[in-house]
Structure 1
Amino acid sequence: MPATLLFFFVGTVLYVYYKHNPADLSLTITDGDAILPWYIYSELPQGITGLLISGIFAAAMSTLSSSMNSAATAYIVDIHSKIVKRDSMNSLFAAKTATLLLGIAGIAFAYMMATWEIKSLWDEFNKILGIILGSLGGLFLLGMITRRANATGAVCGIAGSIIVQLVMIHFQYVHLLLYTTTGFISCFVIGYIASLIISGHKKNIDHLTIYKIFSKK
Structure 2
Amino acid sequence: MFIIEVLPPGITGIIIAGLFAAAMSTLAGSMSSLSSSTMIDIYTPLCGKNISEEKKLKISRLLTVLWAALLIISAMIFRKSSLAVVEIALSIASFTYGGLLGTFLLGLLFKRVKQNAVLAGFASGILFMILVISLKIVGWTWYTLIGVIVTIAVGSAITFAKKSRE
Note whether the superposition's TM-score is higher than 0.5. Answer: yes
- Structure 1 residue 45: Cα displacement: 2.4
Question: 1:5-84, aligned counterparts within 5 Å?
Answer: 38-84=1-47
- Structure 1 residue 131: Cα displacement: 2.0
Distance 1:172 1:39, change over 3 A: farther
Matched, 1:181 2:149: no
| Distance (whole Å) between structure 1 residues aligned to residue 97 and residue 143 of structure 2 | 10
Match of 1:113 in 2: 78
From 88, 92, 114, the equivalent of 1:148 is 114
Q: Partner amino acid for 1:66? A: G
Which runs of structure 1 show a deviation greater than 6 angstroms over 4 or more consecutive aligned residues?
Answer: 191-195
Match of 1:101 in 2: 66
- Same amino acid, percent of matched pairs: 30
CA deviation vs aligned residue, 1:72-109 (integer Å, no higher than 9, x gap) = 22222222122110324233322222111111000111
| Distance (whole Å) between structure 1 residues aligned to residue 51 and residue 131 of structure 2 | 44
TM-score (norm 2): 0.71
| Distance (whole Å) between structure 2 residues aligned to residue 93 and residue 190 of structure 1 | 43
Structure 2 alignment gaps of length 5 or more: 160-166
Query: Contact (CA 8 Å) 1:72, 1:99: kept in 2 or not?
Result: yes
* Residues matched between the structures, number: 156
CA deviation vs aligned residue, 1:6-62 (integer Å, no higher than 9, x gap) = xxxxxxxxxxxxxxxxxxxxxxxxxxxxxxxx3332333222221221121111111
- Structure 1 residue 113: Cα displacement: 0.9
Root-mean-square deviation (Å): 3.3
Structure 1 alignment gaps of length 5 or more: 1-37, 196-217
Query: Contact (CA 8 Å) 1:76, 1:95: kept in 2 or not?
Result: yes
**Higher RCO (C-alpha under 8 Å, 6+ residues apart):** 2
Question: 1:177-216, aligned counterparts within 5 Å?
Answer: 178-189=142-153
Query: Contact (CA 8 Å) 1:143, 1:149: kept in 2 or not?
Result: no
| Distance (whole Å) between structure 2 residues aligned to residue 147 and residue 159 of structure 1 | 15
Match of 1:15 in 2: none
